[in-house]
Amino acid sequence: MKVVLALGSNIGRRFDTLQGAVDALFDAPGLEFVALSPVYETDPVGGPPDQRAYFNAVVVGRTMTLGPRAILERALGVETAFGRVREEPWGPRTLDVDVIMVGDLMSDDPELTLPHPLAHERAFVLVPWAQADPGAVLPGRGSVAGLLADLDQSGVRLRADLALQPPG
């Protein structure tokens, strides 16, 4: 199954945190690396307006053994390892790892809704995802490229000076 994870950071050493997250997500067995997007600097969405801009990226993996709950637990563990504290909804964070999709699975579980219920509205997810996987399709919503055509992308800026490395 294809697994799509969206990464974001706006506290501390944002780029180093994203690179560390990529490495940590694929450090344990069960998740195989497939593709990684460029880094984008994005305006904060939904939270206090005085936040620092985010660095965002999308990583695509593949699993034959992990279920959605195990992928979520891995994502949450990586967030914790990088100092994620959940004090303020939509607030600043050292690291955010969102499970966007796991194969074609659809789930209304409040702890892990699949695909991610807001992914189709978020240019900061779809722009990097389209770069990592140009033919991507968001289950139940359509092609990522088609979804992007309907979104304002002005708050999403490529950071050509920064390049994440595949997990090593």
**Domains (range + CATH), the chain:** 2-158 (3.30.70.560)
Instruction: Provide the 8-state DSSP code for 161.
Output: T
Bond preceding residue 128 cis, omega within 30 of 0? no
pTM for the structure as a whole? 0.96
Parallel, antiparallel or unpaired: strands 137-138 and 96-102: unpaired
Could you read off the pLDDT of 67-89 as tens digits, one per residue? 999 999 999 999 999 988 777 77
Ranges of residues in the chain whose predicted pLDDT is under 70? 47-49
Q: Which residues are catalytic?
A: 84, 93, 96, 98
Model pLDDT, residue 49: 66
